Homo-oligomer: A and B are copies of this chain.
Amino acid sequence: MRDILEAVAAGDLSPAEAEAQLAGYATTDAGRFDAARESRRGLPEAILAEGKTPDETATLAVAAVETSGRALVTRASPAHAEAVADALPNCDIDRNARAKTIVACESDYEAPDIDATVGVVTGGTSDAEAAGEAAVVLEQMGVSVELLEDVGVAHLGRVLDHLDLLREVDVLIVAAGREGALPTVVAGLVDTPVIGLPISTGYGHGGNGEAALLGMIQSCTVLSVVNTDAGYIAGSQAGLIARAVAAARDE
């Protein structure tokens, strides 16, 4: 601990980074940024912009960059994006408007790189946000992503056209709303592990993703699932598996 404090005194270490190393989080006016999760599980800690003001989001993003060299913001509106960019003028800012994510990196941030690939499949346009969120998380973990969109179960031909891709990747995330049948169909065709990501489209009885979640959890093929719209969880879980595969490749 003495080393850390002396580095702070010498200006070699920001107080935020020092606090993160000592306490596992950095304190800000907008709450705490939990820096420890990344070191604990190797997962990029995300700042959920939904429900936060642009200012609060930017404050946490600054703390994240100071602590770990990078900030990952999810469910961000354009206003959030603008505030983050203004607060981090020296960072490279990468905003994905469909996925509603922002990644801000210090110019010397060294991104990880993992020798594994995850396929992210969607059934339709409304699956793009959560699927994109999963893809961004994977990229931040250094995993290669193959994105395959709009192969809904109502157009079976599109699924069958991409069987090779579906079989070649190390893990598959399959996102689907409404009745959520796509992961079941895909998992019946491949021996790749499939993670079902239910999406809160649909309306009336069983809407809001309920039918999709139940359909995946009752699937007559082998799947595991995450909660509705949980793109961050799906991406992180696929990333943990991909990392295990990559580690085995490196043995």
Contacts from A to B (Cβ < 8 Å): 24-25, 31-32, 34, 36-37, 40-43, 116, 123-125, 150, 152-158, 170-171, 178-181, 184-185, 187-193, 195, 198, 200, 202-207, 209-230, 233-234, 236-237, 240-241, 243-246, 248-249, 251
Contacts and interface: CB of A to CB of B under 8 A. Distances in A.
A229 B222 CA distance: 14
A227 B203 contact: yes
A32 B246 contact: no
A203 B229 contact: yes
A37 B217 contact: no
Contacts of A218: 178-179, 202, 204-207, 211-212, 227
Given A181-B185, A230-B204, A224 B210 contact: no
A215 B245 contact: no
A34 to B, nearest CB: 8
30 contacts: A25-B150, A40-B188, A41-B190, A41-B191, A41-B222, A153-B185, A170-B244, A170-B248, A178-B218, A179-B184, A191-B240, A193-B241, A195-B224, A200-B204, A203-B228, A203-B229, A204-B228, A205-B209, A205-B210, A205-B214, A205-B218, A206-B217, A214-B214, A217-B226, A217-B227, A222-B237, A224-B224, A241-B244, A249-B249, A249-B251
A249 B153 CA distance: 33
A18 to B, nearest CB: 18
Contact of A185 (B156, B216, B226): B156
A226 to B, nearest CB: 5
Contact of A155 (B157, B188, B214): B188
